[in-house]
Amino acid sequence: MSGMAGTAGMSADQAARYDALMARLERRYFPDTRAWVCGRASRETLEIAIGTGLNLAHYPADVRLTGVDHNPAALAIARGRARRQGRDLRLTEADATALPYPDAAFDTVVCTFALCEVPDDDAAITEALRVLRPGGSLLLADHVVATTRLVRFGQRALETLTIPLSGEHFTRRPSAHLLALGAEVIASDRFAHGAIERVHARKRRAAGKTDHDDPRPQ
């Protein structure tokens, strides 16, 4: 959301403007969404495309958090925020479609307001599910294609500009692909004319496997 993609040298001013814009959008269109998403995270958690770290304050204290983003300037801001909040956070510069972690390394993977601007969102979800253990939680929130025809029309018009300018899509809906990619939605919410969606999905286990077969069951 709001085109932070490709801002390789984001200044402190740009970051402050981004955070202020996000705060206004959140109050108006998706209040409590960061808390809804992050409150469901547990144990070893990876946040993909963590940006300036706006989710940090919403994670339970006992979550062990790792973050990635392809923008080093955003990571520097997230690092400062984590320090100020006294939160232990490991950060790595990485692309969402090529994560530097082994299979099944995390209990939870989070991605908020970023799949809209990753060039191949299915590839990013596939990679998120690769690093998630079977039965682990995939937690998403984003703006998605609206359920109201008029809003959809506006989204289509808007993305004729935003896709070429900043890579931002408005008519995607990642949750529609989750089942085919290997995850089941166990809770979701859609509001603001259906244009905001938050999703809690679980990575499917291989047939016949249960919690008892998992080396780190929840």
Least Cα distance to 59 among 43, 44, 38 occurs for 38
DSSP 8-state secondary structure symbol assigned to residue 206: P
Our finding on whether 196 is near ligand SAM (CB under 6 A) is: no
**Closer CB to ligand SAM, 69 or 107, in the complex:** 69
Q: Which stretch binds ligand SAM (CB under 6 A): 64-72, 100-108, 150-158, 204-212?
A: 64-72
**Closer CB to ligand SAM, 107 or 117, in the complex:** 117
**Closer CB to ligand SAM, 134 or 197, in the complex:** 197
Contact 52, 77 (CB under 8 A): yes
CA neighbours closer than 13 Å in the CB half-sphere of residue 74? 25
Our finding on whether 91 is near ligand SAM (CB under 6 A) is: no
Closest separation between CB of residue 28 and ligand SAM, Å?
15
Binding ligand SAM by CB under 6 A: which of 26, 95, 122, 214? 95
What beta strand segments (E) does 36-125 contain? 44-48, 64-69, 89-93, 106-112
State both tokens at 199.
């999703």
What does the per-residue mask of binding to ligand SAM show for 14-53, with x meaning CB under 6 A? --------x--------------------------xxx--
Q: Which stretch binds ligand SAM (CB under 6 A): 56-64, 107-115, 157-165, 181-189?
A: 107-115
Distance CA 180, CA 177 (A): 6
Our finding on whether 77 is near ligand SAM (CB under 6 A) is: no
Closest separation between CB of residue 1 and ligand SAM, Å?
4
Contact 25, 54 (CB under 8 A): no
Our finding on whether 112 is near ligand SAM (CB under 6 A) is: yes
CA neighbours closer than 13 Å in the CB half-sphere of residue 70? 14
**Closer CB to ligand SAM, 118 or 183, in the complex:** 118
What b/e sequence results for 65-88 when a residue is b if at least 16 CB atoms lie within 10 Å of its CB, and e otherwise? bbbbbbbebbbebbeebbeeeeee
Binding ligand SAM by CB under 6 A: which of 44, 117, 127, 159? 117
Distance CA 181, CA 144 (A): 18
Our finding on whether 69 is near ligand SAM (CB under 6 A) is: yes
Nearest to ligand SAM by Cβ — which residue? Answer: 51
Cα torsion angle, 89, 90, 94, 99, sign:
negative
Footprint of ligand SAM on this chain (CB under 6 A)? 1-2, 4-5, 22, 49-51, 54-55, 69-71, 74, 95-96, 112-114, 117-118
